[in-house]
Amino acid sequence: MSIPLPVGVEQPEVRFVICGVGHIGRRHAALVQRQPGAKLAALIDIRAEQKPELAAEFVGVPFFASLEEYLAHGPSADVLTVATPNYLHAPQAIAGLRHGLHVLVEKPLALRTADAEQILTTAAQARRLVFGVMQNRYSPPAVWLKQVIEENRLGGIFMVQINCFWNRDARYYRPGSWHGTRAQDGGTLFTQFSHFIDLLYWVFGDVTNLQARFHNFNHQHLTEFEDSGLVTFDLVRGGTGTLHYSTAIWDRNLESSLTVIGEHGSLRIGGQYMDKVEHCHIRDYECPPLLPTNPANHYGFYQGSAANHVQVIEEVVEAVRNGSSAETNAQEGVKVVEIIEQIYKLKKAAG
């Protein structure tokens, strides 16, 4: 763990090395360069053809063709950001921790609970910090929802409904890509919607009595897993819920929404990316004005959730410098992996 410096002593820059410089990795790199107190130390990607373009965009930042090459020959750093395909998250995070680096892992933390737990065990042994990217926690509507629930404004929770209806078609699931493969991608809930399951767990706590149905409506030739699902569950704290999700939406995303029905009122966060409060009717309460939600991440022809990575990097810098806690709690990242793994076990049980 980092030990805070005495007041008045200038804090050193927190040095980041980014492993995986695709859409999200490049965004991490750009935000690190703009973040006060942070420095971009190196970039890692197996696609050597990217080197000239990255050299022009990130002038003076060294480029390495593998994590192994960087760990053997690269400049010193404090934080390894893992933004590679899902199946590489756990082994690369563990390698970074064993090398003495703190790690920031894009979602999902891992594809198996055992691997996610191994990350935490390795971090404890190495006395290093682990962070997971849980960007939905920083959206103003999500922060407001968390406060409403913590203040018990709704009383007992009766029902929670989450809808995630996105477009992911042949423009996304391209031949030869890791996207859509069971072994490397893991499934729709891991790659597309794990941060919504994180939001559910962060606000409402653990779930039990899971049941699920899965369908592959129009991705039979694109993916090795479902494009749609319906999951029902009970909340351990009381109440019941559903998760409806699909990537079979034609042409563009439809919505991401969360509806809560409680003893003293109801609310709904909606929009394409849970970016606005669409309904709030709660006894003796009025919804306050909220800060605007960041725009969605853009990946050319498709979009993702709200672009809140800047807050994640701010918290990592603060935590590494001062040993403070962060909302990107890796232990909760393990729990998200566990919940998804439990859901997908229902698919196997159904044959």
**Edge-to-edge, what's the strand order for the sheet holding 228-235?**
207-215, 228-235, 240-246, 157-165, 255-262, 265-270, 276-282
SS3 218: coil
Strand pairing class (38-44; 14-19): parallel
pLDDT of residue 301: 55
Q: What is the mean pLDDT of residues 320-340?
A: 82
Mind listing the pLDDT tens digit for each residue in 108-126?
A: 999 999 999 999 999 999 9
Mind listing the pLDDT tens digit for each residue in 165-216?
A: 999 999 999 999 999 999 999 999 999 999 999 999 999 999 999 999 999 9
Query: What is the C-alpha radius of gyration for the chain, rounded to an integer number of angstroms?
Result: 20
Residue labelled with tokens 């192994």:
68
- Residues 154 and 265 sit within 8 Å (Cβ to Cβ): yes
Mind listing the pLDDT tens digit for each residue in 247-304?
A: 999 999 999 999 999 999 999 999 877 889 999 999 999 999 998 875 554 555 545 4
Write down the H helix ranges in the chain: 23-34, 51-57, 67-73, 89-98, 113-126, 140-150, 188-191, 194-204, 309-322, 330-349
Mind listing the pLDDT tens digit for each residue in 206-224?
A: 999 999 999 999 999 999 9
pTM: 0.91
Q: What domains are defined for the chain?
A: 14-133 (3.40.50.720), 136-306 (3.30.360.10)
Q: In the predicted model, what is the mean pLDDT of the chain?
A: 91
| Among candidate residues 294, 323, 336, 320, the one with its CA nearest the CA of residue 138 | 294
Q: What is the mean pLDDT of residues 135-151?
A: 93
